[in-house]
Copies of this chain bind each other. A is one copy, B any other.
């Protein structure tokens, strides 16, 4: 009888560990790489606004690298207010420091809402490994 309990317990943990990925709140990591075109900036903001309205409790991370930097540069972003509002809702904006180095962009050129990661793509990979869904943002 005691054995049976133990067996059921082990089964329960095995199944619940497996189901966890599915049962969690939604977790989405976005890649944004093309902000030179301001239509891309606008389209991406629409995507974030629509999704955060649809799932207010989900976790959101935006990883910005390659040609995506202008999106979060004080002098170039066309979406400063929208980004501020999304940040207030919990969306995190992570900028790739390697990209910054390549393009000689410094932190003082970026808006205060961003955070930093060494290698943007590594961040996206690690999030996928942790069960986050990956979406290429923009169009």
Contacts and interface: CB of A to CB of B under 8 A. Distances in A.
A130 B135 CA distance: 15
Interface residues of A, number: 49
Interface string A1-42: 001101110110111011001100010100101100000000
Interface stretch (A44-52, A75-83, A86-94, A107-115): A44-52
A94 to B, nearest CB: 15
8 contacts: A3-B3, A3-B4, A14-B17, A31-B136, A34-B139, A46-B98, A67-B139, A136-B136
A13 B13 CA distance: 12
Contact of A15 (B13, B124, B126): B13
Nearest to A58: B125
The 5 closest A-B pairs by CB, nearest first: A14-B14, A33-B139, A128-B133, A10-B11, A66-B139
Nearest to A17: B18
B129 A135 contact: no
A43 interface: yes
A102 interface: yes
A136 B29 CA distance: 13
Contacts of A7: 3, 6-7, 10
